[in-house]
Amino acid sequence: MAGIDWFAGEKVRASDLNYISPNTTDMDDDLQAVDATTTSTSYTGSLSGGLGASAVFVAQGSGSILLGNWGVSKNSGSGRDWLSFEIRAGAVVGSGTVIVAANDNNAGTKLGTVDGLIGRSYWIPGFTPGSTYNVRQMFKVSSGTTVTYGKRTLWAVPL
């Protein structure tokens, strides 16, 4: 754990636990409930008819966050839908240096035309305590199809 080393026999102070307890006053979350679509075959933060969910957070003592990234998707054909995320430095959503890029390994995915919940929750380490970051949902679909994303939610809890 960043910032604290505990050794056998060492006393733990109550203030040390601040580094392992989530500080929910610094939590940020967002819900977008309007249906929105994309035909993009590469990750995009833009949807037609609505927005992706986003959050801004300040990294705490552990330099880690819990992140939840969820949405409902429906494909127009037999294609695959992906819902990933992107984390950048700074408080302006979609701006700043990319810290974690959207990719298939951190995406929820679904195949076919049936409405379905996609997404995942993550523990992500490596942030600088005291620094501000922004996170937003990123979307893509397999070629030749359109995906409609229904309710989309994203939350970030600094630890």
Burial 65-76, CB ≥16 within 10 A → b, else e: bebbbbbbbbbe
Question: DSSP for 93-137?
Answer: TT-S-EEE---GGG-EEEESSS-EEEEEEEEE--PPTT-EEEEEE
CATH 2.60.120.660 fits 14-158, yes or no: yes
Which distant-in-sequence residues (6+ apart) come within 8 Å of 144 by Cβ? 77, 79
What pLDDT score was predicted for residue 2? Answer: 44
Sketch the domain layout of the chain as residue ranges.
14-158
Structure tokens at 20: 């392992």
Print pLDDT tens along the chain (159 aa).
Answer: 345 556 667 776 766 666 555 555 566 788 899 999 999 999 999 999 999 999 999 999 999 999 999 999 999 998 999 999 999 999 999 999 999 999 999 999 999 898 999 999 999 999 999 999 999 999 999 888 999 999 999 999 999
